[in-house]
């Protein structure tokens, strides 16, 4: 059962968008224009059990699932998200001032605009975002999390005191394990399974460039 505070009665997705925008709960309506949201769609992708199309809308409360051949890039406001194959993402909350994304399984890259609070739950890690670029994967041995640039408050979901502030100019990666070793679940990891070019493409989707590719 979907318990999102935004989902109530759905007369239509467009009607829902207009009503939500009028209430001041969500970003301005133009930020969710369907023609602007989907930037890449390959293979099998479903949004809340409906096949995704190039005109699909992505809204708070939606669950996005990619198949074995799926690849999906979409925009919400000043943020852009890439989902790789065999991934599942729930948009728990998304407002002008704050948002919450939950990566249940798979791999995701994302870039976020400055000045807005965003939080990601991915596997056994939670991340507070501060206008940055990140890439993550849920794995059998834990969660791979790369702070590509910017600052992230990263913590273990098993122990909220096991945390660290990661400040990066170019790809600082960690593995967050389910069990602690030497007093922490964090281990340094290598830069892998994503590229500078992919992260720059996400920035281009929202009219910016990666600070790695085009230094600011």
Written as six digits, the tokens of 74 are 């979409």
pLDDT in tens, 157-212: 999 999 999 999 999 999 999 899 999 999 999 999 999 999 999 999 999 999 99
- Its pTM stands at 0.84
Q: 215 falls in which pLDDT band (50, 70, 90)? A: confident
Q: Where are the domains of the chain?
A: 13-205
Work out the burial of residue 56: count CB atoms within 10 Å of its CB; fewer than 13 is exposed, 13-18 middle, 19 or more buried.
Answer: buried
Whether the per-residue pLDDT at 91 is higher than 90: the answer is yes
Kindly state the DSSP code that residue 29 receives in the 8-state scheme: G
Q: 10 falls in which pLDDT band (50, 70, 90)? A: very low
Question: Residue 75 and residue 148: Cα distance in Å, rounded?
Answer: 19
The answer to whether 45 touches 72, Cβ cutoff 8 Å, is: yes
Q: Give the chain's mean pLDDT.
A: 87
What pLDDT is attached to residue 35? 52
pLDDT top residue among 11 and 148 = 148
Phi, psi of 149 (to 5 degrees): -160, 160
pLDDT in tens, 32-79: 444 579 999 999 999 999 999 999 999 999 999 999 999 999 999 999
Q: How far is CA 211 from CA 85, 135, 157, 203, in A?
A: 27, 15, 30, 9
pLDDT in tens, 107-157: 999 999 988 889 999 999 999 998 899 999 999 999 999 999 999 999 999
Q: Are strands 98-105 and 117-122 parallel, antiparallel or unpaired?
A: parallel
Q: Spell out the CATH class of 13-205.
A: mainly beta
Whether the per-residue pLDDT at 19 is higher than 60: the answer is no
């Amino acid at each position: 059962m979907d318990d999102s505070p935004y989902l109530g009665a759905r007369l239509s997705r467009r009607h829902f968008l207009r009503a939500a925008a009028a209430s001041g709960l969500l970003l301005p309506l133009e930020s969710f224009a369907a023609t602007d949201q989907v930037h890449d769609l390959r293979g099998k992708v479903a949004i809340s059990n409906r096949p995704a199309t190039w005109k699909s809308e992505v809204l708070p409360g939606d669950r996005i699932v990619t198949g074995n051949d799926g690849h999906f890039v979409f925009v919400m406001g000043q943020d852009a998200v890439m989902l790789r194959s065999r991934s599942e993402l729930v948009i728990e909350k998304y407002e002008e001032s704050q948002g919450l994304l939950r990566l249940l399984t798979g791999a995701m890259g994302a870039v976020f605009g400055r000045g807005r609070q965003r939080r990601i739950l991915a596997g056994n890690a939670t991340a507070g975002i501060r206008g940055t670029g990140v890439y993550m994967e849920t794995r059998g041995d834990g969660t791979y999390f790369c702070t590509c640039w910017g600052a992230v408050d990263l913590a273990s979901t098993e122990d909220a005191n096991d945390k660290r502030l990661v400040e990066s100019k170019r790809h600082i990666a960690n593995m967050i394990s389910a069990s602690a070793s030497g007093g922490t679940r964090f281990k340094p990891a290598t830069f892998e399974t994503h590229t500078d070019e992919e992260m720059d493409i996400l920035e281009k989707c929202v009219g910016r460039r990666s600070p790695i590719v085009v230094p600011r």
